[in-house]
Amino acid sequence: MTNKKPAKLSAKDLEEFQVLLNKLRSMLSGDLTQLHEEAFGQNGNHDAESKAGDTADGYYQEFNLRLMERDENTLAEVLEALDRISAGSYGQCEGCEGAIAKDRLRAVPYARLCIECQRLAERWN
């Protein structure tokens, strides 16, 4: 098995990933709006008719808040990836400074680390 290094991204590749990231940004923005409405109601505060001590309602709100937090973090990563495209550093590993494989970027388009550096980072956490 050869350990072939990934090639640097072409202009066409960068365009493909920019389109993918913009679609992901749009999807996450819509999800966040929906989750916010489900957690807090359409007016920005929780449904006035719900009982303060309703455990199921509280669980549902907490669940939506956790999903919102996850999506907000992912959206921030997507926006930073779009910034990296503009800056010319997209697709470059922040760990080893090598190229990140296209397959990895297709799976996680906002990836900052190549798969090897990601594995090392996960071992340390």
> pLDDT tens digits for 41-90?
755 555 444 554 567 677 777 887 888 888 899 999 999 999 999 999 99
Give helix 55-87 / helix 11-40 axis angle, nearest 10°. 160
Model pTM greater than 0.85? no
Q: Please tell me which residue, 1 or 108, carries the higher pLDDT value.
A: 108
CA distance 114 to 25: 22
State residue 69's pLDDT score: 87
State residue 59's pLDDT score: 78
Over residues 86-104, mean pLDDT: 96
